[in-house]
Amino acid sequence: MQFMKNKIIYIVFTIAFLGMAYSGYALELPEESVVPGGIAIISIKAEDKPEAWFYDRKVMILGSNNDWKAIVGIPLSAKTGTHNLKVKSNGVETNYQFEVANKDYETQHITIKDKRKVNPNDQDMSRISKEQKLISKAKSHWSNKDDISLNFAKPAEGSYSSPFGLRRFFNKQARNPHSGLDIAASKGSPIIAPADGTVINTGEYFFNGNTVFLDHGQGLITMYCHMDSISIEEGAQVKTGDIIGNVGLTGRVTGAHLHWSVMLNNVTVDPILFLEQK
């Protein structure tokens, strides 16, 4: 009888411990910021793991039975107001609605000495067109994985020199908003993987310079640009803290720094939302 009582106590303790472990996991979600360039976290009640799409782009789903979370990347181009997340569970489609609030991003004016990096010539444009196909393929990569860390380590030591979302002007010409977070660091400083992942692309690109893409699972992709050197090869598995290269000033830059981008469901979102220490 005493053995059975101890066994029951052990089972109850184990269940409680697992519940605590899951609660800890739930706390590892990124910071929610339902604005253009931010993240919406939508709770979904379903027995089996559902599928979800935001503007026809597949969305990350994490959790467990009847407690699923859709981690939705909101594009910088998103309009304020009501948006729909299409969810499919057991053959039934449902729309989950959420509200996107306005956010005004600051303006930044940059002077680039290499004018071809602002107004590329025909030969440059031919190269850029080829590179964009490779870059787009990497950004839209999807791998089915459930063990995903959403709390990132900072990939390089240094101050934040240019935040995400800045409305940019190069040599007084309007360009796309800043799609990442810039970390000011000296040339040669190490760049680490902020979370476990797989190297899905490396290359030397016209605007981005030496670049690495990491796949962390379910459409969560990180990109590292302007590197001086790359220390890993495509297909390699990396762990949090592994060195992937060094800070440089390749591509379109005004000085040495790391440009770090985070993609969710093929849209760029603010990397600061994923950092353990903001």
The pLDDT value given to residue 278: 55
Burial class (CB in 10 A: 0-12, 13-18, 19+), 240: middle
Burial class (CB in 10 A: 0-12, 13-18, 19+), 101: exposed
User: Which H/E stretch holds residue 3?
Assistant: helix 2-26
Q: Which residues of 218-230 are buried (b: 16+ CB within 10 A; e: fewer)?
A: bbbbbbbbbbbeb
The pLDDT value given to residue 277: 65
Burial class (CB in 10 A: 0-12, 13-18, 19+), 66: exposed
The pLDDT value given to residue 108: 82
Helix (H, G, I), strand (E, B) or coil at 177: coil
Q: Which residues, 6 or more positions from 66, have their beta carbon under 8 angstroms from its beta carbon?
A: 45, 46, 47
At 96, list the tokens. 């989950």
Distance CA 57, CA 74 (A): 11
Block mean pLDDT (10 aa), the chain, length 278: 44 38 55 97 94 97 93 97 96 95 90 88 96 97 94 96 88 84 96 98 97 98 98 97 98 95 97 85
CATH superfamily placement of domain 107-274: Glucose Permease (Domain IIA) (2.70.70.10)
Model confidence, pTM? 0.87
Every domain of the chain and the residues it spans: 1-29, 31-103, 107-274
> Domain 31-103 falls in which CATH fold?
Immunoglobulin-like (2.60.40)
